[in-house]
């Protein structure tokens, strides 16, 4: 069941959405992404582990993600009030 993002997170999303194309594709660690978008690193790691957030496997323990992948995740998982869409 999808949760609606609190207003503070929506404000942060708009702030990071004003990025250049290079910034959108720059690889970063899960902790860097978590800090940038304002969620805990455990949430980012769980999304990667569950296969819900696209990422690049660098080594057994190292994964890289991009802001573009984060925005794609948000787009795919945003649910609107009153929507009967179930996934």
Question: Would residue 87 count as lying in a domain?
Answer: no
**Given this model, what pLDDT does residue 35 score?**
93
Domain limits at 24?
A: 20-77
Question: Would residue 60 count as lying in a domain?
Answer: yes
The 10s digit of each residue's pLDDT in 7-25 is 445 545 555 556 677 788 8
What mean pLDDT is reported for the chain? 80
Please give the average per-residue pLDDT across 58-73, as a whole number.
90
Domain count, the chain: 1
pTM: 0.68
The 10s digit of each residue's pLDDT in 24-46 is 888 999 999 999 999 999 999 99
Question: Would residue 15 count as lying in a domain?
Answer: no
Under 8 Å between Cβ of 1 and 78: no
Question: Would residue 39 count as lying in a domain?
Answer: yes
Under 8 Å between Cβ of 40 and 32: no
Q: Provide the CATH number for the domain around residue 70.
A: 1.10.10
Question: Would residue 67 count as lying in a domain?
Answer: yes
């Amino acid at each position: 069941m999808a949760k609606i993002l609190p207003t503070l997170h929506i404000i942060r999303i708009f702030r990071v959405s004003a990025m250049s194309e290079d910034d959108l594709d720059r690889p970063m660690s899960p902790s860097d992404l978590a800090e940038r978008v304002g969620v805990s690193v455990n949430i980012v790691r769980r999304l990667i582990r569950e296969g819900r957030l696209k990422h690049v496997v660098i080594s057994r323990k190292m994964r890289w993600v991009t802001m573009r992948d984060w925005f794609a995740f948000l787009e795919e998982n945003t649910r609107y009030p009153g929507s009967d869409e179930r996934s």
